Chain A
Amino acid sequence: MERRILIGGFGGQGVMMIGQLLSYTACETTDKNVLYFPSYGSEQRGGTANCYVTISDEQIGGPVGQEIDNVIVLNEPSLLKFEERVKPGGLLFMNSSIIKAEPKRDDITVIRVPANEVAEEIGSGKIANLVMLGTYIGYTDALPEENVLATALKKLGAKRPWLNEMNEKAFRTGLAYGKEQKSRA
């Protein structure tokens, strides 16, 4: 079983962090193979950023591909660019707080996540990526939820332990939202 994930957004939205938290969790808490491959421009903030994560029971091939199982987009340019890469029957998670355009495909499942609104309600728009991550895990169960949360608290809490409470809340709110969306699907 192999799962290919692509995460895209603006630099500064925490796109790479979503990919890294998934990858670290897969590496440190499972026996699976995992490949994380980032791609970004020279800008730290405001430029485009995306990363590929492949989690597999088998040896992993190339770092990038056109047929992606799960695509997570945090901004509109990423939706326009990556919608076509979702495998037929695959999942597209989109940050509906920011993305106003509508997906064109009818052969995929779209999960709209008001990530920025939820994050701001909790305390800061900056944790919208954790809301997305929580939703993704809640919907797909791609990795054990408690392991992903533990990884997030460990990695993010290393420098800013005082933010862990808020980070956990963002993740858990997303998680509940993802499970709810899944139960309706």
Chain B
Amino acid sequence: MERVFMKGAEAVAEAAVRAGCRFYAGYPITPQNETPEYLARRLPEVGGVFLQGESEVASINMVLGASIAGAKAMTSSSSVGIALMAEGISQALNGCQPIVIANFMRGGPGGGTIQPAQSDYLQGTKAIGNGGCKLIVLAPCNVQEAADLTYEAFRLAERDRNPVLILADGCIASMMEPVILPPMRTDEELEKERLARRNWISNGVRTRGWGSIKLDLWYGRAAMVNAESQGACGKPVVEHTLESANRLWAELYETWENDIRVEEYRTEDAEYILTGYGTGGRVCRAAVDQLREKGYRVGLIRPIVVNPFPANAYKKLDSQKVKFVLCSEMAIPGQMFEDVQASLCDRIPSYYYGRSGGHILEESEVIDAFMSHLD
């Protein structure tokens, strides 16, 4: 397989096309403009549609429209732009629409800075929209992972009929690295999938009982389950109420336990653990190697899927052996750190070191922070 040299933001775009994405709408914002720029050129080549909306709100709603019409659709933005899309993302969940959203995070709060940060972990994993909606959240730490996880995002979205979020930091958007791109999905494969979606996509003509759009968009998960079981009994199997739909979403979230992905590196004999995700995670990995050279038994836990959170990786740490866990992110205060602390349940001391405001975390800083906690 040939290595190509690409920016992370472009690798996300190309991987999306290869996964079957044929519709993109978005509104420009640094540091992710290379994604729409790339797709503006690339999508027409494969018969897809690229649209620059007049705003983030318009763009996410265009994506919803394209998705209900049967297209694999995505949008991307950065931090404050994702905040503007919140209502649409929540509605995508409500309508059981398998869209993909990429957030290349910059500093915040508010407009913050155009420079990279990891300041939207809590937004992405806990409450990306109103109404208690949860998405699978994927956090790449390099360009290869950005491509692979984007490809995977479309599969997961389609499987669950639920939106998927790619949570990358601004570093991943602008860095260039060699990448082996995933294979292009064939037109035949995509057409087969489109036909499988016939029972819920709108063709503008048919009304489809429990599966009709009107019902899909209200308490969507209940409508979806009823539509899928329609053939068996001809009657709805769950009440078409918001509460029953909420229960179905909760059941869906439980199934994600199987989608957990985490990198555990040199943890077997570790007396100390460094942890972080995305760029913070790769910086920690390099810090682990440097600290090992100095004779410290250090290991790494790097969540690759951040929602659902790989709590077990921390829960199984031996409190007799591990002296502390140091979490590093490009956010102040720490955000993933809250999940790390919750997973550790006070069994093992945990500390936090972070940079923010556009400062990019460096190995030497993490090492200094580590040394400051040694007794």
Contacts and interface: CB of A to CB of B under 8 A. Distances in A.
Interface of A: 20, 23-24, 27-28, 33-38, 42, 58-67
B361 interface: yes
Contacts of B15: none
Interface in B158-184: 171, 174-178
B285 interface: yes
A36 B175 contact: yes
A63 B171 CA distance: 8
A23 B176 contact: yes
Interface residues of B, number: 22
A62 B363 contact: yes
B5 interface: yes
Contacts, number: 61
Contacts of A65: 362-364
Contacts of A37: 171, 174-176
B364 A61 contact: no
A50 to B, nearest CB: 13
B176 A28 contact: no
Interface of B: 3-5, 114, 171, 174-178, 279, 282-283, 285-287, 289, 360-364
Given A37-B175, A61-B289, A65-B364, 16 more contacts: A23-B5, A34-B5, A35-B175, A35-B176, A35-B177, A36-B175, A36-B177, A61-B282, A61-B285, A61-B287, A62-B279, A62-B283, A62-B361, A62-B363, A63-B360, A67-B364
A63 B279 contact: yes
A112 B226 CA distance: 75
A59 B285 CA distance: 9
A20 B177 CA distance: 11
A28 B360 contact: no
A66 B362 contact: yes
B285 A27 contact: no
A64 B362 contact: yes
A33 B286 contact: no
Contact of A64 (B285, B287, B289, B360): B360
A95 B312 CA distance: 54
Nearest to A41: B114
Nearest to A65: B362
Given A23-B5, A27-B3, A37-B171, A62 B176 contact: no
